[in-house]
Amino acid sequence: MKAESGQFVAAAASPAKGAELAVRGLTHRYGELTVIEGLDLSLPAGGVLGLVGPSGCGKSTLLELIAGLREPSAGAIELGGAGGGAARLAQCAFMPQRDMLLPWLSAVDNAALALRNRGARRGAARAQAGRLFERFGLAGFERARPAELSGGMRQRVAFLRTLVAGKPLLALDEPFASLDAITRAEMQAWLAGALAADPRTVVLVSHDVEEALYLADRVAVLSARPARAVEQLSAPAPRAPDRDAAVTDPAFVAARERAMAALHGGSR
């Protein structure tokens, strides 16, 4: 436990640009139900891993395990060399499926939550989060309440909130699932730009193969419950500046076909 609390201080004090992730022989059960069985994954520091799989296969559970929000039934998850749940939680910022912006706080106060939780004064926290609003195309919306923002804007603020935490690993649970197709494509390009400007290790859960292949360096296709990795693919052109060109490139289309085939084979 001592090592873990030491890790917490280190992670909070100096935002690292990424941490290496290693998952070995991971098994997780809810009572009698095995949701993940013998899963191995690895991701270098600064890499982006996409997780796709049939719905209900345990993708979200896997993400919560990695993020230190749950302890696995068996197996090991190491993040930046540390294994305990508290140590992982200290190094990971989790972005849930729905934006979960707090409706009583302004956009900038929502983005600054992690800083406030660590004891920063309101003014300092706002100033620090506010700088990111400028950088990521949200200038002028600092004082808006979440209810006044569009769906895409809300997801941007939710992502900034995750980024502002300054943690080496970002765990994103279907970040754009609630958006319409056009906004989703825009947000993917936006996220690609944000990660180029501020690189982190990212684990991204998606039900959308195209989204995962565009945003991630590598995509793991999971089987139906209990989840196992049935295929691991390298993305042809991760986070290419021209998204529309990237996703219609023959290499991308071929990778998508392979992933889809693995997905359908795995869910049978």
Q: How far is the CB of 78 from another protein (least distance, A)?
A: 18
- Count of residues of this chain found to bind another protein when the rule CB under 8 A is applied: 28
94 touches another protein by CB under 8 A: yes
Which of 33-41, 94-102, 222-230, 234-242 is the region at the interface with another protein (rule: CB under 8 A)? 94-102
Tell me whether residue 161 or residue 218 sits nearer to another protein (CB atom). 161
Residue with tokens 């956009």: 107
Please give the helix or strand (H or E) that residue 108 lies within, else none: helix 107-111
Tell me whether residue 36 or residue 89 sits nearer to another protein (CB atom). 89
82 touches another protein by CB under 8 A: no
Tell me whether residue 118 or residue 131 sits nearer to another protein (CB atom). 118
Q: Residue 75, SS3?
A: strand
Contact pick of 171, 229, 247, 259 for another protein (by CB under 8 A):
171
User: Is 228 within 8 Å of 72 (Cβ atoms)?
Assistant: no
Q: For residue 223, what is the DSSP state?
A: P
CA distances from 92 to 162, 210, 224, 233, 257 (A): 9, 25, 26, 24, 32
Q: Please tell me the distance from the alpha carbon of residue 109 to that of residue 111, in angstroms, as a whole number.
A: 5
The site for another protein (CB under 8 A) is made up of 12, 64, 67-69, 89-90, 92-98, 100, 102-104, 113-114, 116-118, 145, 147, 161, 165, 171
